[in-house]
Amino acid sequence: MIRSLIFFICLFFIQNIFSQSVINKDIFGFATSNTFTYFDINSKEFKENCNEISPKLLRFPGGAVGNFYHLDAPAYGINIKEVDSLIGGKFPKRARGLISFSKKNNHNNNYIYEFVDLAKQHQSNVVLVANMLTGDKKDIIAMISLMRKNNLDVVGVELGSELSNKSYFDKGYTIKQYLSKAKDISEYIKSVFPKIKTAIVAAPIVSNKDHRHSVWNRSLAKQSFYDAIIVHSYAKVVKGKDKYGQMIFEENEGSQEISFLNYKDRVNEFFDRSYPLEISTYNSIFDNMPIWITEWNLQYSKKTGNTLLQSLFVANYFLEILSNKEFKNISLTTFHNLAGRDFGGSVFQKKNGKTYIQSTFNSIRMISKIFALKSPDILKEKVEKDLYKYTIRSKDSVSMIFYINWSKTAKFISENNNFTKQEEMFGSKLFNLNSDENGITYSNKIHIEDNELKAYSLTIFIENE
């Protein structure tokens, strides 16, 4: 009797642990900024590559482009005069490049129709970005209507992107202007689509309470017209000066070997302390509102872009968001970019007319296996320093185990005979590039009785039927 009671208590405890980490498929999202400028999404090559990922959520138009998007014009409908008058920094030059490329390639239709094709291909949910600066609020209603007409689920609308940034502030944009427009557009959306959620742009956290970012967040926190806050996350692991998610000056920290071991330690510190603290601060300011992370990545640089370190970071990010209770308020995420011209930011890069598959592709297609399951949940365990185990169970009665080995040495684990190694990704050095011959190895061959976790690796074990 006592043994039975103990058994059921333990079972109840385990079930409750897992129930706290039920997986939300909107976590597996991707922004599509510039994707339609540089890629033919209906080509066989793009479809095959994207099918390997099978995104559950897609964002349109995305980022700074979304702040100047117009529905009634070709491509992204960008008016360069609006850009020049409302934003500083590098975007005006980038906008000119986008316009020039789209004209050169006779992109005469608005990209929203290609976005619909892409979302329908994967039956992805959709998050839209509203043009808060010069857009007609009826456009966002038309965009939602178009998605619904194509049987796509619009999970929400972002009320702008990164509008607290200095590049807008230097042109005279204020929190007062943002609040007035955000409230107006949010209420208009809800008057037509009462169930559509809207999210406001939260500013980056700073310690100075008098800083304009702190003022911005306090002003927003007093309002109640929105359903979530938008946060962008770029984990900085390279010392130096950064701006808008990209390193613009990088310090020399010694050899590649030494530097990347430092970067690895900072990645682990990011997940263990810095990021939970940042999210906790947002929770405190905004009273535990749902959080949308609509751009995230390793803060990419010439040193870490397309490396094994970045690939492992991306896998680790997904698994931590899914399993760590400190992140339970994060209800959706979209990775920095699906496809574009940038190095280190996009999963697929187009350069000189050729497609390059970046290192993040390997880990993302492995992580996608989780989101193919029915009602999965996840439990994390720190096995030892630099070695993490994530156990996933689903109502399909399918179980899998992910291991991330951040150590420079191989590990041997003692899984029972019910599990078989199915996939692995690894490399001998964290600075290995996906473009290097044998730099990063990916294998999806079943390995019977192979319990080795390679150094610097992501490994999947699947429960035998």
Tell me: do 107 and 196 sit in the same domain: yes
- Inside any domain, residue 14: no
Neighbours of 194 (CB within 10 A): 7
Tell me: do 339 and 410 sit in the same domain: no
- Inside any domain, residue 143: yes
Tell me: do 306 and 405 sit in the same domain: no
pLDDT at 1: 44
Interval 228-259: pLDDT, tens: 999 999 999 999 887 765 767 788 899 999 99
CB 98 within 8 A of CB 76: yes
- Inside any domain, residue 2: no
Q: How far apart are the first and last CA of the chain?
A: 33
Q: Cα(88)–Cα(166) distance, rounded to whole angstroms?
A: 8
Residue 100 has pLDDT above 70, yes or no: yes
Phi, psi of 234 (to 5 degrees): -130, 105
pLDDT at 245: 58
Q: Who's near 344: CB < 8 A, 6+ residues apart?
A: 297, 298, 300, 301, 304, 305, 306, 310, 358
Q: Which of 371, 397, 417 is the last residue of a domain?
A: 371
Provide the domain count of the chain.
2
Mean pLDDT, to the nearest integer, of 64-69? Answer: 96
Tell me: do 239 and 309 sit in the same domain: yes
Tell me: do 390 and 347 sit in the same domain: no
Ranking 25-34, 47-56, 254-263, 410-419 by mean pLDDT, the lowest is: 410-419
Mean pLDDT, to the nearest integer, of 263-279? Answer: 97
Q: Which of 371, 401, 420 is the last residue of a domain?
A: 371
Tell me: do 422 and 280 sit in the same domain: no
Residue 15 has pLDDT above 60, yes or no: no
Residue 12 has pLDDT above 50, yes or no: no
CA-nearest of 223, 125, 141 to 175 is 223
% of the chain exceeding 70 in pLDDT: 93
pLDDT at 264: 97
Confidence band, pLDDT 50/70/90 cuts, at residue 11: very low
DSSP 204: P
CA-nearest of 168, 126, 171 to 151 is 126
Mean pLDDT, to the nearest integer, of 41-45? Answer: 96
Q: Cα(124)–Cα(324) distance, rounded to whole angstroms?
A: 25
CA-nearest of 197, 70, 193 to 131 is 70
pLDDT at 323: 95
State the sign of the Cα–Cα–Cα–Cα dihedral 170, 173, 174, 175: negative
CA-nearest of 69, 89, 274 to 165 is 89
DSSP-derived pairing of the beta strands 154-158 and 291-298: unpaired
Q: Cα(340)–Cα(128) distance, rounded to whole angstroms?
A: 19
| CATH value at residue 302 | 3.20.20.80
Residue 8 has pLDDT above 70, yes or no: no
- Inside any domain, residue 432: yes
Interval 335-364: pLDDT, tens: 999 999 988 889 999 998 999 999 999 999
Confidence band, pLDDT 50/70/90 cuts, at residue 9: very low
The vertex-152 CA angle with 151 and 153, nearest 5°, equals 120
Full domain range(s) for residue 417: 377-463
Q: Cα(143)–Cα(146) distance, rounded to whole angstroms?
A: 5
Return the HEC string of 386-422.
CEEEEEEECCCCCEEEEEEECCCCCEECCCCCCEEEE
Tell me: do 312 and 418 sit in the same domain: no
Average pLDDT, the chain: 92
- Inside any domain, residue 221: yes
DSSP 110: B
Tell me: do 321 and 456 sit in the same domain: no
Q: Which of 326, 347, 371 is the last residue of a domain?
A: 371
Tell me: do 297 and 426 sit in the same domain: no
DSSP-derived pairing of the beta strands 452-453 and 411-412: antiparallel
* Cα 376 to the center of its chain, rounded Å: 19
Residue keyed to tokens 């400190």: 326
Burial class (CB in 10 A: 0-12, 13-18, 19+), 448: exposed
- Inside any domain, residue 1: no
Ranking 11-15, 94-98, 231-235, 437-441 by mean pLDDT, the lowest is: 11-15
pLDDT at 416: 64
| CATH value at residue 439 | 2.60.40.1180
Tell me: do 302 and 434 sit in the same domain: no
Confidence band, pLDDT 50/70/90 cuts, at residue 383: very high
Q: Who's near 33: CB < 8 A, 6+ residues apart?
A: 59, 61, 62, 63, 65, 66, 337, 340
Interval 202-232: pLDDT, tens: 999 999 999 999 999 999 999 999 999 999 9
Tell me: do 291 and 431 sit in the same domain: no
123: left (phi over 0), alpha (psi -120 to 50) or beta: left
- Inside any domain, residue 10: no
The pair of structure tokens assigned to 257 is: 């070997």
Interval 445-463: pLDDT, tens: 877 778 999 999 999 999 8
pLDDT at 398: 75
- Inside any domain, residue 17: no
Interval 173-203: pLDDT, tens: 999 999 999 999 999 999 999 999 999 999 9
Tell me: do 109 and 135 sit in the same domain: yes
Residue 2 has pLDDT above 70, yes or no: no
